[in-house]
Amino acid sequence: MEKKWRRTINIIIYLNHNWLDEYNGNLELWDENGKKKIKSISPIFNRCVIFKTDKKSFHGHPTKLNLPPEISRKSIAAYYFLKEDNEIELYPTKFIARPQDSFYYKVKVNSENFLNKIFSFLKRKHILSDRFASKVLDIFK
């Protein structure tokens, strides 16, 4: 994790032939407060999505996938980073619950964010590995 690099742009290219809406998996882009969905984008083959990313660019595919056993959701993601003059503030990925999500789910998301923040700090200080942090965070999925 480079301490002076700030991710600014995400690029996703989808590789899903014959994708059906019933599979779910749309990329959702939300407003900076995470209260209003701005756009829902189907992950169809050869679609490229480019968007700004920062502390307030809430995005993801929050609806659980509904895939037949022989189908998977495929994509290639790349990121553009800017190198800053000074070490940037650490801000790990922040997950948010959607307004319609259950109270239980919101507690789960907040717990995962708390652990993610701690793990990110420990990883930056080289006290913890990505592998260990991922195993613990997978418990919340």
Residues of the chain with CATH 2.60.120.620: 1-89
* Residue with more model confidence, 118 or 38: 38
Q: Which has more confidence, 10 or 34?
A: 10
Helix, strand, coil abundance in the chain, percent, nearest 5: 25, 25, 50
Work out the percent of the chain whose per-residue pLDDT is above 70: 94
Class of domain 1-89: mainly beta
Q: Is the pLDDT of residue 93 over 80?
A: no
Given this model, what pLDDT does residue 91 score?
A: 67
Question: How high is the pLDDT of residue 109?
Answer: 83
Q: What is the per-residue pLDDT for 10?
A: 94
The answer to whether the pTM exceeds 0.95 is: no
Question: ∠126-131-132 over CA atoms, to 5°?
Answer: 75
Which pLDDT tens digit goes with each residue over 116-125? 788 878 877 7
